[in-house]
Amino acid sequence: MIVISQLFNQQEVAELIASLPSSSWEDGSKTAMGMAADVKNNNQADCDDPKVQALANRILAQIGNTPDIVSAALPHHIFPPVFNRYSESEEYGYHVDAAVMRLPNSQNVMRSDVSMTLFLSDPESYDGGELVLRSDSGEQAVKLPAGYAVVYPSRHLHKVNAVTKGTRIAAVTWMQSMIADPSLRDTLYQMDKTIQALINSGTTQRSELDSLNNVYHNLIRQFAII
């Protein structure tokens, strides 16, 4: 799990919220698949609304311009972000995201390897609403400042706790990574972080950095599925 600080600043978050249509919201359970529909109780902005599509594209552009997300996910395909709204008593019980998703208005499909939740509501404006991830190490609750995002493996069971006061708005997206193996993807992320740290330290010779960078890219070249 990786937290991205200020994917959008406060002014940008305010612009995103203000641009969301007030009327183009629908029952979120209609967009869920299989067992997830039984535990999904929220509202989702109409993905066919041009204003919603414009906001989704803005988030997609920001993802592409954020090196830490690119390094962690190594995305090949990204599902257009969807906007969810949770009012009082609404929640999304434990579920697993669909392994294969059809891209909107397309016959193309993608595999969901990595998920990202972008928090758009001030955490002090609502109670509850934590994103809870369940992994081999236990449960972890996440509730971040507006504009922050969390990137996590799609394979984990997760839920959104019931909102008990206020309204929680967030954007969610999924990515198909060029590297399907999560262990290898994590290793490559750690390797890239080490390379960047060595570059910033200014104490490592250029020839050594070139060698490490060569190994990194050759591993991607060997294992990437595109």
Q: Is 181 annotated to bind ligand?
A: no
- What is the side-by-side order of every strand in the sheet holding 138-142? 40-41, 91-95, 157-160, 131-135, 138-142
pLDDT band at residue 38, thresholds of 50, 70 and 90? confident
Question: What's the CA gap between 120 and 215, in Å, rounded?
Answer: 38
From the centroid of its chain, how far is CA 201? 30
User: How do residues 111-135 score in pLDDT, each as one tens digit?
Assistant: 999 999 999 999 999 999 999 999 8
Mean of all residue pLDDT scores within the chain: 94
Q: Is 192 annotated to bind ligand?
A: no
Q: Is 58 annotated to bind ligand?
A: no
User: How do residues 62-116 score in pLDDT, each as one tens digit?
Assistant: 999 999 999 999 999 999 999 999 999 999 999 999 999 999 988 999 999 999 9
Q: Which fold has domain 2-177?
A: Jelly Rolls (2.60.120)
pLDDT-above-70 percentage for the chain? 100
Q: Is 76 annotated to bind ligand?
A: no
The DSSP letter of residue 207 is H
pTM of the model: 0.94
pLDDT (0 to 100) of residue 83: 97
User: How do residues 209-224 score in pLDDT, each as one tens digit?
Assistant: 999 999 999 999 999 9
